[in-house]
């Protein structure tokens, strides 16, 4: 049996272990927020934003941010049909409706024209999800948001390390959200971050994140409104601080892995990989191959070939509107079509060159 190739695995060094050990031994009492505060500060510096709130997940960050924008029953939020459920569930949980629009065939991110066409008087936000590290067309989306007075939210869970014309993913919208789930480029096990440059929005989310207790409230145990409890623990933040000290290496390795696949596979005319157009750096969270329609190579063929090599193959996100929990939007052509001829490639930091070559060889063998 060939050795198994995992598709993701966190990169954990002695530094993470040292900080986590210190937090477990000493991070209590008056030190119980030390790593959290440090993690938020380092993250703000890395991203170039003014405000950050560490959370227990990206889903939690989105939920609070959307609640703070006043999204509620009767409202609509426009997002790409191609996505993980985590971006849609806070919308539904707030009583609003996710409106799924198609993606672009090259970036696999939301099609700005389709987003604009979906705007109604009930539209309260557009969510830009930078899929697999690929960047949305932020100039177009922000222009549309401005034209209609609708905030653009950036779900940058998959895009730490992605840079759009000098600006980091997550720093351009009304607010941004990040995930530090174990599969992501930077991990705290579970965890997330809310970021914004909007002082009022920050105050509202800070209050919501603290069970509705405002910073200025002098009475103890006195919530002014119903909030949330989506906090990150000091232990998780300790691991996050170590990961942030290594962030440039973590991103560089992801990009190196994508470059390896590009070098091996880009010569094949029937496939495309994560794009990196001029002015853009792709954080390369998840290298992905999409085969052309003419190739007749399907997800099922790919899954069988990867299984034979004992390599994990992760399917491209199903269209959310294809799930039984939402009405189908079959006119979202690319979102429904691309997953049937695509696969995510293994890309964890410590993967060996030999295993990368094995993965590339599986793809090449199918052509
Ligand atoms: C991973 C992911 C999330 C969810 O992150 P959690 O931390 O698990 O809540 C949200 N959106 C996108 C696009 C993701 O990839």
CATH 2.70.150.10, domain 14-245, yes or no: no
Q: Ligand 1 centroid to 2 CA: how many Å? A: 32
Best substitution site from 86, 191, 286 to test ligand 1's pocket, by max atoms within 8 Å of Cβ? 86
Helix 199-209 and helix 58-68: axis angle, to 10°? 120
Best substitution site from 157, 169, 228, 317 to test ligand 1's pocket, by max atoms within 8 Å of Cβ? 157
pLDDT at 318 over 90: yes
pLDDT at 4 over 90: yes
pLDDT band at 1 (very low <50, low <70, confident <90, very high): confident
How do residues 252-271 score in pLDDT, each as one tens digit? Answer: 999 999 999 999 998 898 99
Task: Return d(Cα 124, Cα 122) in angstroms, integer.
Answer: 6
Q: What is the dihedral of CA 218, 224, 229, 234, to 10 degrees?
A: -10
- Which residues face 266 on adjacent strands? none
> What is the rounded average pLDDT for all residues in the chain?
97
* Paired tokens of 178: 């990040």
Nearest CA to ligand 1 atom 2: 157
pLDDT at site 266 = 86
pLDDT at 330 over 90: yes
Q: Which fold has domain 248-366?
A: 3.90.1150
Residues 153 and 94: beta-carbon distance below 8 Å = no
Backbone angles phi, psi at 200, to 5 degrees: -65, -45
Nearest CA to ligand 1 atom 10: 86
Please indicate whether residue 205, judged by its CB atom, sits closer than 6 Å to ligand 1: no
pLDDT average, residue stretch 207-226:
93
pLDDT band at 185 (very low <50, low <70, confident <90, very high): very high
* Paired tokens of 167: 């600006």
Best substitution site from 56, 66, 127, 181 to test ligand 1's pocket, by max atoms within 8 Å of Cβ? 181
Please indicate whether residue 192, judged by its CB atom, sits closer than 6 Å to ligand 1: yes
3-state class percentages of the chain: helix first, strand second, coil last, to nearest 5: 40, 15, 40
How do residues 139-182 score in pLDDT, each as one tens digit? Answer: 999 999 999 999 999 999 999 999 999 999 999 999 999 999 99
Please indicate whether residue 243, judged by its CB atom, sits closer than 6 Å to ligand 1: no
Contacts 24+ apart (CB under 8 A), 44-48: 44/195, 46/168, 46/244, 46/247, 47/168, 47/170, 47/171, 47/176, 47/195, 48/167, 48/168, 48/171
* Paired tokens of 239: 């691991």
- Taking residue 162's Cβ as centre, other Cβ atoms within 10 Å add up to 28
Strand 51-55 relative to strand 192-196: parallel, antiparallel, unpaired?
A: antiparallel
How do residues 27-60 score in pLDDT, each as one tens digit? Answer: 999 999 999 999 999 999 999 999 999 999 999 9
Instruction: CATH 3.40.640.10 in the chain: give the residue spans.
Output: 14-245
pLDDT at site 132 = 98
Q: Ligand 1 centroid to 1 CA: how many Å? A: 34
pLDDT at site 16 = 98
Please indicate whether residue 154, judged by its CB atom, sits closer than 6 Å to ligand 1: no
Instruction: CATH 3.90.1150.10 in the chain: give the residue spans.
Output: 248-366
pLDDT at 69 over 90: yes
- The residue ranges of DSSP E strands in 74-203, in sequence order, are 76-80, 97-101, 123-129, 152-155, 163-164, 167-168, 175-179, 192-196
Residue that the structure tokens 């401005």 belong to: 146
How do residues 268-288 score in pLDDT, each as one tens digit? Answer: 989 999 999 999 999 999 999
Q: Ligand 1 centroid to 267 CA: how many Å? A: 32
**Which secondary structure element, helix H or strand E, spans residue 172, and what is its range?**
none
pLDDT average, residue stretch 247-252:
98
* Paired tokens of 87: 């971006």
Please indicate whether residue 57, judged by its CB atom, sits closer than 6 Å to ligand 1: yes
Q: Ligand 1 centroid to 61 CA: how many Å? A: 10
Kindly report the pTM of this predicted structure: 0.97
């Amino acid at each position: 049996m060939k050795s198994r190739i995992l598709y993701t695995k966190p990169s954990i060094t002695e530094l993470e272990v040292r900080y986590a050990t210190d937090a477990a031994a000493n991070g209590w009492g008056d030190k119980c927020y030390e790593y959290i505060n440090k993690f938020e500060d380092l993250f703000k510096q890395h991203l170039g934003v003014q405000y950050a709130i560490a959370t227990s997940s990206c889903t939690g960050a989105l939920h609070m941010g959307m609640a703070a924008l006043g999204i509620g029953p009767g409202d609509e939020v426009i997002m790409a049909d191609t996505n993980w459920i985590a971006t849609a569930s806070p919308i539904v949980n707030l009583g609003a409706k996710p409106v799924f629009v198609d993606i672009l065939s090259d970036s696999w991110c939301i099609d700005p024209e389709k987003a604009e066409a979906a705007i109604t008087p009930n539209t309260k936000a557009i969510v830009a999800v930078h899929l697999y590290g690929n960047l949305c067309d932020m100039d177009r989306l922000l222009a549309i948001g401005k034209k209609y007075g609708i905030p653009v939210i950036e779900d940058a869970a998959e895009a730490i390390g992605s840079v759009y014309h000098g600006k980091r993913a997550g720093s351009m919208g009304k607010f941004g959200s990040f995930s530090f789930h174990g599969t992501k480029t930077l991990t705290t096990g579970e965890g997330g971050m809310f970021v914004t440059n909007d002082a009022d929005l920050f105050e509202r989310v800070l209050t919501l994140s603290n069970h509705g207790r405002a910073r200025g409230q002098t009475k103890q145990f006195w919530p002014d409104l119903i909030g949330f409890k989506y906090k990150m623990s000091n232990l998780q933040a300790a691991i996050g601080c170590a990961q942030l000290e290594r962030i440039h290496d973590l991103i560089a390795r992801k990009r190196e892995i994508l470059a390896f696949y590009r070098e091996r596979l880009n010569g094949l005319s029937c496939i495309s990989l994560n794009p990196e157009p001029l002015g853009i750096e792709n954080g390369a969270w998840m290298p992905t191959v999409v085969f052309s329609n003419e190739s007749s190579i399907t997800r099922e063929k790919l899954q069988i070939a990867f299984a034979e090599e004992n390599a994990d193959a992760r399917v491209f996100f199903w269209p959310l509107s294809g799930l039984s929990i939402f009405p189908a939007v079959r006119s979202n052509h690319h979102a429904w079509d691309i997953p049937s001829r695509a696969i995510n490639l293994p890309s964890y930091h410590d993967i060996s060159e030999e295993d990368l070559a094995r993965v590339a060889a599986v793809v090449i063998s199918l052509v």
